[in-house]
Chain A
Amino acid sequence: MSDITSIEQEALAAIHGAASLEALDAVRVSELGKKGRVSGLMGTLGAMSPEERKEKGPALNALKGRIEDAVRARKGALEAKALEAQLAREKIDLTLPAAPSAGEGALHPVMQVFEEIAAIFGDMGFRVAEGPDIEDDWHNFTALNFPEGHPARETHDTFFLKQGQGNLPKVLRTHTSPVQVRTMMTEKPPIRILVPGRVFRNDWDATHTPMFHQVEGLVIEEGIHMGHLKGCLVDFVKAFFEVDNVTARFRPHFFPFTEPSAEMDVQCQRSGGVVEVGKGTDWLEVLGCGMVHPNVLRNCGLDPAVHQGFAFGMGVDRLAMLKYGMPDLRPYFEADPQWTRHYGFSPWLTPSVSGGLS
């Protein structure tokens, strides 16, 4: 037995003394390897008497087990130590800046508001239609019941191009309404469209820019009357301003292409240059609308005795201002990074009626 005791003592001492995984492995080989001491002792079992084997066998197996355990434990400790050293070597200073990246950009508020409006009306069954910015006189004016020479044309501050069709110069569309005409001339009712786009008027001061954005709506369907117009737009302003108690009022107005015509105001509170919709006692004009004028229907090849519907148009830049508090229109078109970062939107914010607009 003294063999076993001394081997165990020596082996355990060697195991604990092993300073590296390699040294430990050498100990393991010298004790437990094929030619190791323990294996050597095991080899002697065959020559023993059964009684002796019965006594020595378990003792040797137990010795082997204890040495194996010790090797495993030492291995674990050495590995942990090695990992610790490796980790210490790998230490980095994460207060240093990451590799440069472009970061996140921002979306322009007008374009965002376009999408908000499209989401709301899309939910009401409107689909988007488009038309050209450079228009002819007929689509921009005549077809919309602005007779030639009519003073209503002068209120539009029209931009003209140097060449035109026949004797009339081409114009930059002064409103998105020509797309109504283009749609009614190519599609059969029922029609329910929403037209976003750039429009142009020759006016530039604190509250006007020579280019701005409009959204036009057109519904031509059986039985559609002014009550639907009112309902549709009241539903819109509630959804758009994301407040429950928007009060709207409709006032008679004049547009050549609608009859009856109206302007819609929403109730708001003006104080300190800030306008808040859904409070207060002031009124703010937000859009113009009306029932499509019989002459317009006729000009587009529809019979006013059979077809009827409504149209509306609103200035997107001003709606964006109202909702998001930009104090001034002028920076809209300056592509100023500071302004865009401040008033812009994250690319991950997609407006939807169900998911929230803003």
Chain B
Amino acid sequence: MKFTLSWLNDHLVTKASLDDILGYMGKAGLEVEHVIDPRKALAAFTVCKVLEAEPHPQADKLRVCKVETIDGVKQIVCGAPNARAGMTAIYAPLGTWIPGLGMALDKKPRAIRGIDSHGMMCSSRELELGDDHDGIIDLDGEYMVGMPAAEAMGFTDAVIDFEVTPNRPDWLGVQGIARDLAAAGAGRFLRNDVKKAPGSGECPVEIKLEAPEACPMFAGALIRGVTNGPSPDWMQARLIAAGLQPRSLLVDVTNYISLDRARPLHVYDAAKLTGAVVARLGKTGESLEALDGKTYKVSEDMCVIADGSGVIGLGGVMGGQSTAVSADTTDVFIESAWFDPLRTARTGRTTGIHSDARYRFERGVDPQSCVDGLNLAIALILEYGGGAATKGRIVGSIPARLNKVTFYHGDVERLTGLVVKPAEMKRILKDLEFDIEDAGDAWYLMPPSHRFDIDRSADIVEEIARLVGYDQLPTTSLPMPEGLKQSVAAARQSRVSIARRAMAARGFLEAVTWSFMAREHAALFGKVEDALTVANPVASELNYMRPTALGNLAQAAQRAANRGERSIRLFEAGPIYLGDGPKDQRTVIAGLVQPSPQRHWQGTPQPYDAFAAKADLFALLAALGQPGDKFQIGAATQPHWHPGQSASLKLGPKMTVANFGALHPAVLKALDVDGPVYAFELNLNALPVMKAKSTKTKPVLERADLTPIRRDFAFVVDADVPAGELARHALGADKQLISKVDVFDVYQGQGVAEGKKSVAFEITLQPREALKDDQIQAIMDRVIASVSKGTGGVLRG
């Protein structure tokens, strides 16, 4: 919402400066977004007089001028066709920022075709005061040299733009702004009560309200013999300042009252109306060609204005072309009605129309303003357009609010810590036009009819607190609570923090990628469903809630590769979505590497592969206090992995903790990512949370005093038996004594039968007491038996 300082002064008697007004606005809750103060913007520019203007010896179109300025007489080279001796112009000294050119003048005199120019004379476009750039500003009349340009040109009114919060539609009128600023202490509010406009004879246009739930009140009047020319200059200037284009007197008057009083109106060319004007609900099949030139379908939920010809307007949203006023209009019918906010909002959403009327009605227009708005419009039209008005026709009524708000003035201190005297509270509430009934601790308050946001004591507390000023609030540090509660979420947060640091320590760069991905890409990672599809995506490739972080990471790695990065390691700690329920979200740690060949003087390094991904995953698990050995390792559980180069880690048959390995080449191709790509994705939610121990004390160290015993084995097994199975069965032979099994060789080829492989491993025995040779031999025999039985392997001789 934009308004000017002089406009505000129509409703507020104040000596406050612009800066003070801005301060009061902030205090009252009107958040200033932008201020254009022409005095400040044009401070560098002053009036000058051209004493001489001689042709430039080197250029036909340039003139060399002697100019009397605030800085003395200056030589200025000027290209404007209207530069001439004796004219009064606007001078910009060297170094001045010229807003219309978006550049500053040089700080030193600049030679133009060999002649130094000590400044500039400006056009109105260069000062952003108009479109005229055919010549420099040529002031008509007597002005002192050195007078500020803003003053000389009559641009002294500051324009203030601020944010109107949805709870305060009364701030959509300058009058409402003034009321709050007065209550904040900026000055005295002028009520400017509207007088009944002169009118004679009944209004011949009949008004019918057929849907009082949608439009309970409608005031109208006819003015005959109007001249619909341009509106007065002052009104046009205010509309322009507010960001509206002046059109004609009749339209401008409605817009002006909308801005001045937050009271939308509509005007119809009475000659184009047929029969009664009816406010009713729409009917299927009806449509309206609206003032914006577009045709809208009408639905049964909308409130429409209709006459004998059909729909002529969407109530509270926009009028229609067929009855619009034009330059030829002489008889005008004025509508000042009240439309239900929720229905207006729905109509606005359905049609997509964003009009000033909709904006006000959906937030709430003062029901008491129907008649005032009509009278104000009649008065302005008669004053500037002439003609004769009928009496107003007022149909329907809006029931006044009945319930008072109970305000406990002790709530001010209870909720804000502010100590305010009851008399000051009353002063503020009276300034805001509340009606107060003092009953001791409780006051019964009737809010003014333009307020829709006052329902309870807390709402009054805010009124008092903001107008006393939030700067008066005490600043009290939070008292420390007794004993801190711990939570599961906190445990997960700390695991996320550890995991992120573990990943970064292993060379991974942290990415934060969209929770979205393209639905067609998500389909590569599993079944897609509508429940996870965004109905109104910001971009078509961001229309699905990702079931994995790997798709986005793979594409990011490819983007990096396209820019010449090599072997980028990326990870992300973030959410994935397995469904739309509150428990369907998981936190994953996903790591991904798109390796590129590396060279080294000691020999070609082993490239990053599925085992490297396994190493990173296991290091991550170790950092989280979960050794990788405790999980069962099996086939990957998701379709997007290379079937021969991937695996999963599980806790029990159903709980998959992680998948890792190479991504499926077909998936990469569909994502337009060059393979191979190795990755892992760890589901943090599936990791058991370590139970907090009752004591921080650690158990006594049970030192292994005896030297570990190590023995090597080699088995020949079928080639498709996983090496991990041999290790698992070896370990199972004596869980007490065998502390470790390390596979150190896998061999296929000469000496081993076709379809078989040899697997060699070392076992480590950690004896608790001295073992005799026959005891050790017995364990070795158990290992051989266990592995043979479990895997069909034969001990290699």
Contacts and interface: CB of A to CB of B under 8 A. Distances in A.
Chief secondary structure at chain B's binding surface: mixed
A211 interface: yes
24 contacts: A97-B601, A106-B504, A124-B478, A127-B490, A128-B489, A134-B585, A149-B346, A159-B535, A161-B535, A198-B575, A200-B515, A210-B516, A210-B538, A225-B413, A227-B473, A227-B474, A230-B473, A234-B475, A253-B31, A308-B414, A332-B512, A334-B556, A335-B511, A350-B497
A72 interface: no
Interface of A: 96-97, 99-108, 110-111, 115, 118, 124-125, 127-135, 149-152, 154-155, 159-163, 169-170, 172, 182, 190, 192, 196, 198, 200, 202-204, 210-211, 219, 221, 224-228, 230-232, 234-235, 249-254, 259-263, 291, 293-294, 304, 308, 332-338, 340-341, 344, 346-348, 350
Interface stretch (B110-118, B160-168, B192-200): B160-168
A99 B481 contact: no
Contacts of B276: none
Given A133-B577, A202-B538, A230 B476 contact: yes
B504 A105 contact: yes
Contact of B580 (A127, A163, A227, A231): A163
Per DSSP, are chain A's interface residues mostly helix, strand or loop, or mixed?
mixed
A287 to B, nearest CB: 14
Contact of A253 (B29, B461, B473): B29
Interface string B193-235: 0000000000000000000000000000000000000000000
A259 to B, nearest CB: 4
Given A125-B480, A253-B165, A159 B536 contact: yes
Nearest to A195: B489
A344 B501 CA distance: 12
Interface in B436-486: 453, 456, 458-459, 461-462, 465-466, 470-471, 473-481, 484-486
B605 A100 contact: yes
A231 B476 contact: yes
Given A226-B417, A254-B168, A260-B461, 17 more contacts: A102-B507, A105-B571, A124-B478, A127-B490, A134-B585, A159-B535, A170-B580, A210-B514, A210-B542, A225-B417, A227-B418, A228-B478, A228-B479, A231-B476, A234-B475, A263-B31, A346-B504
Contacts of B456: 294
Contact of A198 (B461, B471, B515): B515
B165 A108 contact: no
B376 interface: no
Interface in B582-615: 582-585, 598, 600-602, 605
Contacts of B328: none
Interface stretch (B426-434, B562-570, B724-732, B783-791): B562-570
A103 B31 CA distance: 49
Contacts of A107: 500-501, 504, 510
A313 B535 CA distance: 27
Given A127-B484, A190-B481, A263-B31, A336 B501 contact: no
A235 to B, nearest CB: 6
- 4 closest A-B pairs by beta carbon, nearest first, are A102-B507, A252-B29, A227-B417, A254-B165
Most buried by A among B458, B505, B584: B458
B754 interface: no
B530 A162 contact: yes
Interface string B1-34: 0000000000000000000000000111101000
Contacts of B557: 335
A103 B598 CA distance: 14
A105 B591 CA distance: 12
Contacts of B363: 151
Contacts of A219: 478
Contacts of A102: 506-508, 569
Contacts of B569: 102, 105
Contacts of B524: none
Contact of A160 (B166, B485, B534, B584): B534
Contacts of A101: 507
A211 B577 CA distance: 15
A101 B363 CA distance: 62
Contacts of B532: 134, 161
Contact of A162 (B31, B168, B533): B533
A344 B475 CA distance: 35
B96 interface: no
Contact of B480 (A118, A124, A210): A124
A24 B561 CA distance: 65
B32 to A, nearest CB: 10
Nearest to B567: A102
A105 B515 CA distance: 22
B514 A337 contact: no
B355 interface: no
A232 B477 contact: yes
Interface residues of B, number: 106
A163 B531 CA distance: 5
Contacts of B462: 252, 259-261
A335 to B, nearest CB: 3
B715 to A, nearest CB: 33
A157 B362 CA distance: 17
Interface in B623-677: none
A202 B536 CA distance: 8
A133 B515 contact: yes
B278 interface: no
Interface string B719-760: 000000000000000000000000000000000000000000
B605 A133 contact: no
Contact of A99 (B470, B492, B605): B605
B513 interface: yes
Contacts of B582: 131-132, 134-135, 182
B152 interface: no
B382 interface: no
B493 A128 contact: yes
Given A225-B416, A227-B416, A104 B497 contact: no
A125 B513 CA distance: 31
Contacts of A127: 484-487, 489-490
Contact of A347 (B505, B559, B560): B505
A97 B600 contact: yes
A104 B507 contact: yes
A223 to B, nearest CB: 8
A150 B474 contact: no
Nearest to B466: A252
Given A105-B509, A227-B476, A235-B477, A111 B166 contact: no
Interface string B517-552: 000000000000011111111110010010000001
With most chain A CB atoms within 10 A of its CB, the pick from B345, B461, B506, B582 is B582
B50 interface: no
B273 interface: no
Contacts of B471: 249-250
Contacts of B413: 225
B512 A169 contact: no
A134 B345 CA distance: 26
Contacts of A155: 166
B573 interface: yes
Given A99-B605, A127-B487, A161-B535, A226 B507 contact: no
A149 B478 contact: no
Contact of B510 (A151, A170, A344): A344
Contacts of A111: 500, 510, 512, 573
B415 A260 contact: yes
A161 B534 contact: yes
A33 to B, nearest CB: 39
Contacts of B492: 130
Nearest to B487: A127
Contacts of B349: 154
Nearest to B474: A227
Contact of A133 (B478, B556, B563, B575): B575
B503 interface: yes
